[in-house]
Structure 1
Amino acid sequence: MTPSRTRPEGSERTLNEAYDTALLDLDGVVYAGGEAIDHAVESLGTARAGGMHLAYVTNNALRTPEAVAEHLTELGVAAESADVITSAQAVARLICDQVPAGARVLVIGGEGLRAALRERGLEPVESAEDDPAAVVQGYGGPELAWGRFAEACYAIARGVPWFASNTDLTIPSARGIAPGNGAAVEVVRIATGAEPQVAGKPLPPMHRETILRTGAERPLVVGDRLDTDIEGAFNGGVDSLLVLTGVTDAAQLLAAEPRHRPTYVDADLRGLLTGQPQVTEAAGGFTCGGWTARASGDALVLDSDGNEKDERANHEQTKDGDALNGLRALCAAAWTQAGDGSCTLDAGKALSRLGL
């Protein structure tokens, strides 16, 4: 068994040099609400120009790879459809392995699912009366009619195997957090008592699909979610970079259990273009970039080399990005204290000092 990670790792080489392929999540990493996240376009362009292969890996099964690539190109990120891997493609391969060639599949979702099924030689159908060999469910957008869930239930009740592209309970939108495919899967699960086979992150079918399509030999998973991106990297036995531009905040990172602990932590996609500082063990704690973190009683405590400085000076440090080093040191203190569990120590004061 692989020992639990107890601190973020360092890297003397820039990450785009150390890894041949970046497997990038989209929502919360490259864009949010359809608009590019700060520094994403420039960072990805530089990484690509330096020879790193960029692949965009999304649990959202609604859009086709062509549509995703077109959106990325509009944002200024050079991408082709072959650079995009979706959970629709992963679930289509999973279904294809278990049903006869050319079989009919009842689709509860959008065009991304239908296109992925056709790519595998399967026939998408719309009704339980069409004699489907499988049911597949993926995110269909806010317009997906309630009656579509009933069609799935009718087929599943007859013993037709059920597949889901992913089970993310939420999905980010321009107006906030909306129900994701996982919420829709729960509707069918409650009605039928059945359990779907799931393909998307963090499960192995998605990682298999990604490696098959990219040919990556030394991939780096880049994401903003601990329970999909980082856990998926853990399950696949590959390294990961967590960026703090999406759903995961500093407190959640400190409380991460072993399968949710990333290899590296950075503010945004500029982290691809830099090395990563080492976190070293110090007397009673862990040090990174002038910050020392330790567990004390029921709290995490953070000290700076500049203890004699006034609070204003400390805030100037955080403006220069030094807060990330403090966070990395806190991760080491928290994860070491938690071992194979989740850290429950109070980190509020320490994170407040970093402005996080």
Structure 2
Amino acid sequence: MTADTSPRTPATEDGRSLAERHDVLLLDLDGTVYLGGQVIEHAPEALDRAARAGSHPMYVTNNASRSPADVAASLTGMGIAATAEDVLTSPQAAATMLAETHPAGAKVLVVGAPFLADSVAAVGLTPVRLVADEPVAVVQGHSPDTGWRNLAEACIALRAGADWVACNVDSTLPTDRGLLPGNGAMVQALMAATGLRPRVAGKPARPLLDEAVRRVDGSRPLVVGDRLDTDIEAGVAAGMPSLLVLTGVCTAAGLLAAGPAQRPSSVALDLRGLLDPDRAVALDGAAPADGWAVTLDGSTLVLDRGDREPHPDPDVDALRALGALTVAAWESGATAVRAGSSAAEPVLRRWDLD
């Protein structure tokens, strides 16, 4: 069986790049713009060009412990122009959710960092730390200082009927020491103790993205990130197109195995895909041949060179092959891959699919 799986580049629909077709970019940070505190190659130039093309970079992060000003200062130090207004964090989105459902001045018990309390105060609510203050809601975000006593206060408030909003439910937090417990781990502790579930502001829930679009009055957003289970899933949940960049967490194998709720509209090697059509491949529709063919042999995808010459840039050629494999995998449900000829072998090695 031969599948029509060749992807198209994003610009072939109307000749415009992704940056030109979207008025706001909802950008993840770690793994997308920087990695381990170091800016990812090509990111500053790509984001500058995207802004000049008319696409407003908006940095949306689940991080609940750093203020927008701190994030913007870090980006500026990496050579990326950003102000606090260009950054939206999950505490801000959580505070907005609470302000929409509770009257001005209502007391909210804060479990998290000082910036979370500041976010609550900024929307006209009153942050408190003790259940004796009779809060009507609990808001929970990551803080390395959260302990049993903080969770106990929240537990009592929740059992008494308080509303509950979690900034995010990331179970782990990446650090220079590896993955450590994230806010989601603390949220799980309260879920176990109360039998309740919170409303969630951050990715993969959609409130963070919706609030970011509202703040810049955008109408054609593009979600950009490196994780399927947060960035891309949030885009799918919000009904927004998304671009997966292969500079962080997601692997080629992970992309092939992605379920419908975590499938990006396009994939790129890095943020240059926002502007260079060769460096991004669309995954959401039929497309003309682009140099690679994929057939299905039982439950195995077989990659082979098609009837076109390879792209002169090996990375671009490999990206197009990955796009063809991805479309075929999503269509067929197969994720096992093998080379149909010697031409495909180095490409599969490039993506660790051999």
Change (3 A) 1:149 1:332: same
C-alpha distance in 2 between matches for 1:149 and 1:253: 37
C-alpha distance in 2 between matches for 1:9 and 1:180: 38
Matched residue, 2:183: 181
Alpha-carbon shift at residue 317 of structure 1 (Å): 7.1
Gaps of 5+ in 2: none
Q: Does 1:231 align with 2:229?
A: no
1:194-213 equivalence runs, <5 A: 194-213=196-215
1:256 to 255, 258, 263: 258
Letter paired with 2:72: A
TM-score under structure 1 length normalisation: 0.86
Q: Deviations over 1:169-190 (max 9, x none)?
A: 2222223222221111101111
Matched residue, 1:333: 328
Change (3 A) 1:127 1:255: same
C-alpha distance in 2 between matches for 1:292 and 1:208: 38
Change (3 A) 1:134 1:300: same
SS at match of 1:322: helix
C-alpha distance in 2 between matches for 1:7 and 1:206: 34
Letter paired with 2:187: V
SS at match of 1:347: strand
Q: Does 1:22 align with 2:22?
A: no
Q: Residues 7 and 289 of structure 2 are in contact (CA less than 8 Å); yes or no, is this contact kept in structure 1?
A: no
1:97 to 89, 96, 100: 100
1:1-356 equivalence runs, <5 A: 10-12=9-11, 13-140=16-143, 142-275=144-277, 276-277=280-281, 289-305=290-306, 319-337=314-332, 343-347=333-337, 353-356=348-351
Matched residue, 1:3: none
SS at match of 2:10: coil
SS at match of 2:138: strand
Alignment length, in residue pairs? 336
SS at match of 2:274: helix
C-alpha distance in 1 between matches for 2:182 and 2:289: 38
C-alpha distance in 2 between matches for 1:280 and 1:158: 47
Q: Report the more deviating stretch, 87-96 or 202-211.
A: 202-211
C-alpha distance in 2 between matches for 1:211 and 1:21: 7
C-alpha distance in 2 between matches for 1:268 and 1:180: 27
Alpha-carbon shift at residue 305 of structure 1 (Å): 4.1
Letter paired with 2:215: R
Letter paired with 2:230: T
SS at match of 1:116: helix
Change (3 A) 1:146 1:42: farther
Q: Report the more deviating stretch, 288-297 or 244-253.
A: 288-297
Change (3 A) 1:278 1:246: closer
C-alpha distance in 1 between matches for 2:133 and 2:338: 56
Q: Residues 267 and 282 of structure 2 are in contact (CA less than 8 Å); yes or no, is this contact kept in structure 1?
A: no
Q: Could you say what the CA RMSD is over the residues aligned between the two structures, in angstroms?
A: 2.7
Change (3 A) 1:67 1:205: same
Change (3 A) 1:211 1:290: same
Q: Report the more deviating stretch, 16-25 or 146-155.
A: 146-155
Change (3 A) 1:278 1:29: closer
Alpha-carbon shift at residue 266 of structure 1 (Å): 0.5
C-alpha distance in 2 between matches for 1:278 and 1:252: 17
Q: Deviations over 1:290-328 (max 9, x none)?
A: 221232212111102499x9xxxx9x9784431111100
Letter paired with 1:346: A
C-alpha distance in 2 between matches for 1:239 and 1:153: 38
SS at match of 2:336: coil
Q: Residues 293 and 304 of structure 2 are in contact (CA less than 8 Å); yes or no, is this contact kept in structure 1?
A: yes
Alpha-carbon shift at residue 112 of structure 1 (Å): 2.8
Alpha-carbon shift at residue 105 of structure 1 (Å): 0.9
